[in-house]
């Protein structure tokens, strides 16, 4: 389950920020996850409960914002929305697409005290 290692790296980032910004506790973490990031939000929530014990983020709420996938369609010459890799263009059904967005997983905001 790679969501567990993702959670661990989120915790690592938070602990580094806690040292840098001198906060001791995180109330909530807002995460942006693209539709093409290959992350299962439920597994991520489960992993989060496991890894946050004993860290500044212990008990912190995980607020997940899902972002759509985006791709450039060479036929339409336009950016279109896709739900997964290798989806055809929703407008012209072409497969000549290049994924341009929706692969990110990042910490958008930390609510700290
Ligand atoms: Zn198209």
Q: Mind listing the pLDDT tens digit for each residue in 46-63? A: 999 999 999 999 999 999
- Closest by CA to 10, choosing from 35, 29, 23, is 29
Distance 39 CA to ligand 1 centre (A): 26
Q: Check: pTM over 0.75? Answer yes or no.
A: yes
Q: Where are the domains of the chain?
A: 2-112
Distance 74 CA to ligand 1 centre (A): 7
Distance 101 CA to ligand 1 centre (A): 16
Q: Which CATH architecture has domain 2-112?
A: 2-Layer Sandwich (3.30)
Distance 76 CA to ligand 1 centre (A): 4
| Direct distance between the N- and C-terminal alpha carbons of the chain, in angstroms, rounded to an integer | 31
Residue 74, Cβ density class (10 Å: 0-12 exposed, 13-18 middle, ≥19 buried): middle
Q: Mind listing the pLDDT tens digit for each residue in 83-113? A: 999 999 999 999 999 999 999 999 999 999 9
Distance 27 CA to ligand 1 centre (A): 43
Report helix angle 2-21 to 41-51, nearest 10.
Answer: 50
């Amino acid at each position: 389950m790679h969501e567990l290692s993702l959670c661990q790296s989120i915790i690592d980032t938070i602990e580094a920020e806690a040292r840098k910004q001198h906060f001791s506790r995180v109330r909530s973490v807002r995460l942006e996850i693209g539709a093409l990031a290959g992350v299962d939000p439920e597994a991520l929530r489960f992993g989060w409960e496991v890894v946050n014990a004993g860290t500044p983020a212990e008990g912190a709420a995980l607020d997940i914002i899902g972002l759509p996938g985006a791709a450039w369609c060479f036929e339409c010459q336009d950016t279109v929305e896709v739900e997964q890799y290798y989806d055809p263009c929703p407008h012209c059904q072409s497969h000549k697409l290049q994924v341009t967005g929706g692969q990110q997983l990042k910490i958008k905001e930390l609510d700290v005290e």
